C-alpha cells in the first residue's frame, strides 16, 4: 500500500488473482490541500474509467429509464424531456440544449469560421471532432466494433443502427399515430413531422421552409445559388452533400454495398434494401394511414396514398 504525505492523496488499487484491478479502495485527501478540486477531477475520471469495466451506470432518468455513467450526461439528457435550452446566442434569438449545438449555429450563421481543414480534399469544419470523423473517409478507419459479429463502423450511430437491425431488434421509440418504430428518438421526431406538418427549417432568403435540413440545403443550392461543392467527374452532377455524391457514384460504378443477410440480393441504397426485406422476408409494413388503416412497407407509397384522402 502506498502512503501519502501532507498535501497529497493516495489512490490504492487492489489486484485480483488474475492480475486485473478491482478499482479504488482508498482515497486519502489532505483537507488543507490547495489542489482538492484537481484531486476530485482526477478521481472522477478514474471512476468513469472503472465503469467501462464494471458496466455500472448509476444515474437514471425517471422519465424514460435512460442510464448513464456521468451525472452531467443525465442533466443534459433530461433537457430532451423538459425542452430546456440554456445556451443562448448573443446575436439572434436562437437557443440550444447543448453547447456544441450553439457553437455550430454561431459558426454556420454568424462567423462562418471553419478553422479545421482536411489536407486530402480541402474539406473545412469548425469542429475538431467533425474533422476526425471526416478523415475516416480517407483512412478507412472503423473504430466502432460489433460485439456479436465482425461488423465495424466509422461512426457510433452506424453501429447503433446495426445492433438494432441485426442483433437486438430494439426500437424503443414508437409513433402514437401510426405505430412506426425507430432506434433513435431523433428519427422519431423527424418522422412525427409527417403527421404534424411541422417544417422547422426556414430559408432566410424567402418564405420556403422544410421538414428536413437536407431539403433546405437542396433548396438553397437550387434557388439561391448556394454552395454546391461536390461534383461527379463522370457526368458533371453536382450536390451540396458528400453523401449524395457517394450515392450518385454508384450509378456509374455499379457498387451495391447493402447486402441482404437472407438471400443474395444487394442494393446500392439502404432504403432499397429495406424495401426488399419488407417485400421478400419480413413482411414488415411500418407505415399506416391514419384515415383508413392501410399499411405499407414504403413511406413514399403512404405519401402517395394520403393524396387520395386530401385531394378534393
CATH of the domain at 291: 3.30.160.60
> Is residue 49 located within the same domain as residue 89?
no
Which residues, in sequence order, are CB contacts of 212 under 8 Å at separation 6+? 190, 201
Q: Rg of the Cα trace of the chain? A: 25
User: Last residue of a domain, which of 168, 198, 214?
Assistant: 168
pLDDT of residue 39: 53
> Is residue 207 located within the same domain as residue 290?
yes
When divided into structural domains, the chain yields a total of 3
The answer to whether residue 5 is domain-embedded is: no
Cell of 31: 483537507
For 75, 86, 215, the CA distances from 271, given in Å and listed in that order, are: 35, 37, 17
> Is residue 25 located within the same domain as residue 107?
no
Cell of 311: 385531394
The answer to whether residue 103 is domain-embedded is: yes
The answer to whether residue 62 is domain-embedded is: no
The answer to whether residue 43 is domain-embedded is: yes
Q: Which range marks the domain in which residue 38 is found?
A: 10-56
The answer to whether residue 107 is domain-embedded is: yes
Strand 152-153 and strand 144-145: pairing? antiparallel
**Helices marked H in 86-241:** 99-106, 128-139, 156-162, 185-196, 213-223
309 neighbors 294 (Cβ within 8 angstroms): no
> Is residue 205 located within the same domain as residue 300?
yes
Whose cell is 455500472? That residue is 56
For 25, 43, 90, the CA distances from 6, given in Å and listed in that order, are: 20, 18, 47
> Is residue 127 located within the same domain as residue 193?
no
pLDDT of residue 88: 93
> Is residue 191 located within the same domain as residue 306?
yes
The answer to whether residue 176 is domain-embedded is: no
DSSP letters, 38-91, are HHHHHHHHHHHHHHHHH----EE-TTT--EES-HHHHHHHHHHHH----EE-SS
pLDDT of residue 47: 66
> Is residue 86 located within the same domain as residue 48?
no
143 has a pLDDT exceeding 50 = yes
pLDDT digit string (tens) for 64-103? 888 888 888 888 888 888 889 999 999 898 898 888 888 8
148 has a pLDDT exceeding 60 = yes
> Is residue 124 located within the same domain as residue 161?
yes
> Is residue 158 located within the same domain as residue 186?
no
> Is residue 297 located within the same domain as residue 202?
yes
User: Last residue of a domain, which of 134, 168, 202?
Assistant: 168
Reported as a pLDDT band with limits 50, 70 and 90, residue 36 is low
pLDDT of residue 124: 82
pLDDT of residue 43: 54
Reported as a pLDDT band with limits 50, 70 and 90, residue 25 is very low
> Is residue 73 located within the same domain as residue 192?
no
Q: Mean pLDDT of all residues in the chain?
A: 77
User: Last residue of a domain, which of 127, 144, 168?
Assistant: 168
pLDDT digit string (tens) for 190-237? 888 888 888 888 888 899 998 888 788 778 877 877 666 777 877 878
Which residues, in sequence order, are CB contacts of 299 under 8 Å at separation 6+? 194, 287
> Is residue 150 located within the same domain as residue 128?
yes
Reported as a pLDDT band with limits 50, 70 and 90, residue 52 is low
Amino acid at each position: 500500500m502506498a502512503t501519502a504525505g501532507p498535501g497529497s492523496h493516495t489512490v490504492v488499487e487492489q489486484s485480483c488473482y488474475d492480475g486485473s484491478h478491482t478499482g479504488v479502495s482508498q482515497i486519502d485527501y489532505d483537507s488543507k490541500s490547495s489542489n482538492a478540486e484537481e484531486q476530485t477531477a482526477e478521481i472522477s475520471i478514474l471512476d468513469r474509467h472503472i465503469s467501462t469495466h464494471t458496466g455500472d451506470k448509476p444515474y437514471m432518468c425517471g422519465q424514460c429509464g435512460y442510464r448513464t455513467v456521468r451525472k452531467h450526461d443525465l442533466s443534459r439528457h433530461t433537457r430532451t424531456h423538459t425542452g430546456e435550452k440554456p445556451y443562448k446566442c448573443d446575436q439572434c434569438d436562437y437557443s440550444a440544449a447543448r453547447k456544441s449545438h450553439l457553437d455550430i449555429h454561431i459558426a454556420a450563421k454568424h462567423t462562418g469560421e471553419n478553422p479545421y481543414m482536411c489536407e486530402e480534399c480541402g474539406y473545412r469544419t469548425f469542429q475538431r471532432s467533425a474533422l476526425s470523423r471526416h478523415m475516416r473517409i480517407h483512412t478507412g478507419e472503423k473504430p466502432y466494433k460489433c460485439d456479436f459479429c465482425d461488423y465495424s463502423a466509422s461512426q457510433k450511430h452506424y453501429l447503433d443502427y446495426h445492433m438494432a437491425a441485426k442483433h437486438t431488434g430494439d426500437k424503443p421509440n414508437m409513433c402514437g399515430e401510426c405505430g412506426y418504430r425507430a432506434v433513435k428518438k431523433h428519427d422519431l421526431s423527424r418522422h412525427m413531422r409527417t403527421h404534424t406538418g411541422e417544417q422547422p427549417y426556414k430559408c432566410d432568403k424567402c418564405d420556403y421552409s422544410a421538414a428536413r435540413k437536407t431539403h433546405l440545403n437542396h433548396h438553397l443550392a437550387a434557388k439561391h445559388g448556394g454552395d454546391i461543392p461536390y461534383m461527379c467527374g463522370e457526368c458533371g452532377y453536382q450536390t451540396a452533400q458528400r453523401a449524395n455524391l457517394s450515392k450518385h457514384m454508384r450509378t456509374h460504378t455499379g457498387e451495391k454495398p447493402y447486402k441482404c443477410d437472407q438471400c443474395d440480393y444487394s442494393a446500392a441504397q439502404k432504403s432499397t434494401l429495406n424495401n426488399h426485406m419488407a417485400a421478400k422476408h419480413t413482411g414488415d409494413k411500418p407505415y399506416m394511414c391514419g384515415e383508413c388503416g392501410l399499411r405499407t412497407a414504403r413511406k413514399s407509397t403512404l405519401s402517395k396514398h394520403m393524396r387520395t384522402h386530401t385531394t378534393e
